Amino acid sequence: MSKDYISLRQLLALLFAALLSPMIQVLPRTAVEIGGKAGWLSALFALPVVLLLCWAYQATPGRLGGGAGMAEGLELAFGRWPARVLVHLYLIWGVLLLGWNARWCAYRALSINYRNAPMPLFILGLLALTLWLGHKSLSAFCRAGEIFALALGVALAVALALAALRTEWNNVGPIWLEDLPGAAGGAVPVLGLVGYGVLGAFLAGQVKRREVDRGRLLRWGALWCALLAVFQLITIGCFGPGLIQKMETPFFILLRGVGVPGAFERVESLIMSLWLLADLAFLGLILFACRAMVRYLTRGEERPWVPVLLVAAAGALALFTLNNLFSLSWVMERLIPAGNLILGIGVPLLTGIVIAWKKRREKV
């Protein structure tokens, strides 16, 4: 454990790859439902909160020195026993996320690429791969995450660049003043997505502190919001807000028309398959965050059976709960984002503010 350190760049690369998995299932449809053709502006309206959240993450684990993450930040802000209660709550939430997201990812993959594959077998295979990745060291997983991020980033950039050639800009503009309240409301699902970032904060205790990293998290937050805005702009521009609301995964449907005549005319199968890397990065991130929570609760003890127990509990949730698409979609698009707003946005912001206030009092 003492040698299992990563850099902030590696953690942010892993977070980028991981968040691409829920991104394509949540956006831009949920933002369009609220903001209409101005829904692509939702990420820009979310930017101030995202930057404030990045500041809070820096204030929470970043000022504690090496070996301290979100759990230690909660203890510094609220005391030992309230922190332990909160970490238990995060752990329960993490197991729910692991199980239900495994089912959601499996459903998406089967509905698009592998229609004849049995759902339980695919879920078990996905969780088995997650366990294989998650029982190793965090540094090894982050090195794989860097490769995943590079492959997914290139694929996303190519797909969006080619799709931009087919964009009908009247689908996304002009934007009038009366459209702006809806666009601001569309920031809510964006923040629900950003709330998954709290999982990375629990791994901050294994990040090496370097002076060169000052401001890196804020830049990452700004670039992430810019990427979400471009992603939604092009996707909405290709289909229009009315059609977007009827699609489950607009991005994958967009890929079916992407290509270069005479060179490659169908790239959707390759990119859809690559998105399994995003699913593995996402599920692996959840598993490692849960491991960090358990390690905090057991006062630093690393127990080899913990990943197996966590994946087994998640597997039971994935196989025996939310067995119909309606309930699964409602939970993943309504309940989970609401929970992320509380645990992934509200609690970290409050923690950062309390820590900053305490440190200011000490100086006074």
CA atoms within 13 A on the CB side of 176: 2
CB of 4 closer than 8 Å to CB of 136: no
For the segment 3-9, the average pLDDT, to the nearest whole number, is 83
- The Cα-based distances of 33 to 163, 198, 227, 231 in angstroms read 22, 26, 20, 16
**C-alpha radius of gyration, the chain, whole number:** 20
- pTM of the predicted model, to two decimals? 0.91
Partner residues linked to 340 by β-bridges: none
Most confident of the following: 176-190, 277-291, 346-360: 277-291
Residue 266 has a pLDDT of 59
Using a CB cutoff of 8 Å and minimum separation of 24, what contacts does 114-123 make? 120/319, 123/315, 123/318, 123/319
The phi, psi pair for 78, rounded to 5°, reads: -115, -5
Residue (of 119, 61, 99) closest to 286 by Cα position:
99
Task: Indicate the average pLDDT of the chain.
Answer: 86
Predicted confidence band at 323 (pLDDT cuts at 50, 70, 90)?
Answer: confident
Whether pLDDT at 261 is above 60: no
